[in-house]
Chains A and B, each alone.
Chain A
Amino acid sequence: MTRFAYVAPTSVEEAVSVLFDAKGVAKLLSGGTDLLVQLRAGRLRADLVVDTKKIPGMSGIAAEPGGGFTIGAATPCAVIGEHAGLVAAWPGVVEAACLIGSTQVQGRATLAGNLCNASPAADSVPALIAARAVVVVAGPEGQREVAVEKIVVAPGRTSLARDEFVLAFRLPPRPARAADAYLRLTPRTEMDIAVVGCGINLVLAADGSIASARVALGAVAPTQLLVAEAAAALVGHRLDAATLAALEAATRAACRPIDDKRGTIAYRIKVAGVLARRAAVIAYARAESRR
């Protein structure tokens, strides 16, 4: 790896000022499973690496009194998968986080890194968007909260200022009859990058019809897509054949994928519709069982 300096600030304020004062390129380090690979391959250069993990409170999961959850930005995905409360309330977010890499990668990889690496194929991002997750961002003016879908602006680029970083993710409280699901297609079951990913979050009404829905897609556009038309196809209906067909059509219509070695444009569009249908069925069944 090319030479860089390393600092591990021990407070949020120190981290912000280190980022602000940095000469040249400063990169934040959470699990390092994207950053160190890129630095080593020479795809990225850094003058300063700022390790977030020594800041108190960066790692860990808190169940909020109101029913939501706060997940520290440096919490490894393996820890997310072991949190019973989170698994029960947000199974889709958890399954997306736990799809990232091997056991070794799971021990390090974080949601913040997955989001801020800004890959169109990042697995946790569609699930977080579908879940209406909010990012807590620290910066010189203090903290602000931003919807996850506002962070990635282009492949490899985020909307964060150079002296801002992600402190935590907030997941909203969960009513009864609500659940989410995430599915991705990869040629093999482990250690691969999504050809398409789809996160769906449903809240059911007492009569079993869908009261509200969020549908988000990965790897079918330069950034993750929140597909309002696909959600609209679900609201007010049960998952009958016509509703699923409308969901599939709306999902396919939103896709703007590229051709690459993982899949052609036509294949990705087709698969996006299939995954949306299947994820909706899973989320619906989970929601029904959470009365």
Chain B
Amino acid sequence: MSKLHVAATINGEPAEFLCEPQQTLLDVLRDELGLTGTKEGCGSGDCGACSVILDDRVVCSCLVLAAEAEGARITTVEGLATGDVLHALQRQFLEHAALQCGFCTPGLLVAAKALLDRNPNPTETEVRYGLAGNLCRCTGYDKVIRAVLDAAAEMRGETVA
């Protein structure tokens, strides 16, 4: 079957790629474009390790065909930092030691960014529900939630206690 040509914007840069119709966006990000920050945990929408922001909504890239990305704007974990300056979420994850193996971390960072983009001042409950689609086998979530709440406070310009 012939390959499909797709043009999209990835992390603010125009990107073009060829893909097979059955390749997912996750496959293309990792295998064709070398953006291996986005992880594959389950491939079935359950774990959130593959989270990316597609046209302002966080989605599981394992459940998006690469061909569907035509014309779309995509943000992956590689797009969070500005040059050498980490995003507030990334810094707070380090500060709180909100990761152990780190496999879930890119997905959590991307999902948390999407959450704060929509709701800069979430409650703890809103963060817990908002990130319920991101599974972590290591941290027990508490440190993750605190890191997100502190990043939100920092981004609002409040000093973090």
Hey, which bits of chain A sit against chain B, CB under 8 A?
A: 1-6, 8, 29, 31-33, 36-37, 39-41, 49, 51, 53, 76, 78, 101-105, 107-108, 190-191
Contacts and interface: CB of A to CB of B under 8 A. Distances in A.
B48 interface: yes
Given A3-B21, A103-B111, A107-B58, A29 B133 contact: no
Contacts of A29: 65, 68
A104 B64 contact: no
A219 B20 CA distance: 37
B45 A33 contact: yes
Interface in B42-69: 43-46, 48, 51, 54, 57-60, 62-65, 67-68
Contacts of B98: none
Given A36-B63, A101-B45, A190-B129, A4 B22 contact: yes
A191 B51 CA distance: 16
A104 B21 contact: no
Contacts of A104: 45, 48, 51, 58-60, 111, 133
A33 B70 CA distance: 19
Most buried by A among B24, B54, B62, B68: B68
Given A1-B22, A5-B1, A102-B132, A40 B65 contact: no
Given A37-B44, A102-B133, A107 B59 contact: yes
19 contacts: A3-B1, A3-B20, A8-B68, A32-B65, A33-B45, A33-B63, A36-B63, A36-B65, A37-B63, A40-B44, A51-B68, A103-B130, A103-B133, A104-B133, A105-B45, A105-B133, A107-B57, A107-B58, A107-B59
B114 interface: yes
A230 B133 CA distance: 36
Contacts, number: 91
Interface of B: 1, 4, 20-22, 24, 43-46, 48, 51, 54, 57-60, 62-65, 67-68, 70, 111, 114-115, 129-134
Contacts of B115: 103
Nearest to A39: B22
Nearest to A32: B63
- What are the 9 A-B residue pairs with the smallest beta carbon separation, nearest first? A102-B133, A107-B57, A6-B21, A190-B132, A1-B22, A104-B133, A104-B60, A107-B59, A6-B67
Given A40-B44, A103-B111, A103-B115, A108 B59 contact: yes
Contact of B4 (A6, A33, A76): A6
A259 B4 CA distance: 45
A49 B21 CA distance: 9
A51 B45 contact: no
A191 B129 CA distance: 10
A118 B114 CA distance: 31
Contacts of B58: 103-104, 107
Most buried by A among B21, B70, B114: B21
Given A32-B64, A105-B133, A107-B57, A191 B46 contact: yes
Nearest to B52: A104
Contacts of A39: 22
A71 to B, nearest CB: 17
Contacts of A5: 1, 21
B64 A108 contact: yes
Contact of B43 (A33, A40, A49): A40
Nearest to B60: A104
